[in-house]
Structure 1
Amino acid sequence: MHVTHSAAAPASDEISFDEFLKVDIRVGTIVAAEEFPQARNPAYKLQIDFGETIGVKKSCAQIVTNYPIDELPGRQVAAVVNFPPRQIGPAMSEVLTLGFADSEGEVVMFAPDVKVPDGARLF
């Protein structure tokens, strides 16, 4: 499946509300971030705390351009937590951190504008 990240991309095919609910999007707090020089595209390896039920999960995120690594711990982010883990080079990514492309095509993370409990689900 090819996904277009541009604002000019047409809307995707219509889905049912039940299909949408199958995608489990949660908020978590980044607790650690490290450089990921082995990645094909510049990326960080993140550890994100999704609260007691889901716990801390790993994610590889191509957010280097817009986010200095030392500013990441403590930030809340949204992620899909029910995709199967995916091998990214030598690392395993357990969740998909969500973001939008800015005008330069670089990722801007999707996050609540007010702190919410880690593990809160998007609805």
Structure 2
Amino acid sequence: MHANHDEAASAADTIGFDDFLKVDIRVGTIVSAESFPEARKPALKLVIDFGPVIGRKKSSAQITENHAAEELIGRQVMAVVNFPPRQIGPVMSEVLTLGFPDAQGKVVLAAPVLGVPDGGRLF
């Protein structure tokens, strides 16, 4: 998760549809989730399967308040798959797993309501 979680006060600047299309948000299934004690803030190391084209990607996600590692296996999530990888401690985070703040500002993962094929792109 990236820094600015407190954007709820106002909407972001207006963008064109072409700008939206630059952000590649895909759905994938979590195949591995484990604690990440080396992270500065409590986080989990995830491996997410985005299907045959994109494959499996790693992510570090600060989601420990609302999500236990053992409950995440097999769950679908949404992630930005076209950011450059970021080194987070010993882990190379390849995708940005997406979520929304709950009433206390803690992350709740974003996911489709119904199961969909892994690798599908948000539109």
Normalising by structure 1, what TM-score? Answer: 0.95
4+ residue runs over 3 A deviation: none
Shift of the alpha carbon at 1:117? 0.2
Give matches, 1:1-123, under 5 Å: 4-6=4-6, 8-123=8-123
Q: Give the letter aligned to residue 13 of structure 1.
A: D
Deviation per residue, 1:16-67 (Å, 9 max, x gap): 0001000000000000011100000000000000000000000000011101
Shift of the alpha carbon at 1:4? 3.7
Q: Structure 2 CA distance, aligned partners of 1:31 and 1:7?
A: 30
Shift of the alpha carbon at 1:6? 3.0
Query: What secondary structure sits across from 2:41 in the alignment?
Result: coil
Q: Structure 1 CA distance, aligned partners of 2:7 and 2:92?
A: 29
Across the two proteins, how many residue pairs are aligned to each other? 122
Deviation per residue, 1:53-92 (Å, 9 max, x gap): 0000000000111011110100000000000000111111
Q: Give the letter aligned to residue 53 of structure 2.
A: T
Q: 5+ residue gaps in structure 1?
A: none
Q: 5+ residue gaps in structure 2?
A: none
RMSD across aligned C-alpha pairs, in angstroms?
Answer: 1.3
Shift of the alpha carbon at 1:8? 3.8
CA 1:31/1:11 → structure 2, altered by over 3 Å: closer, same or farther? same
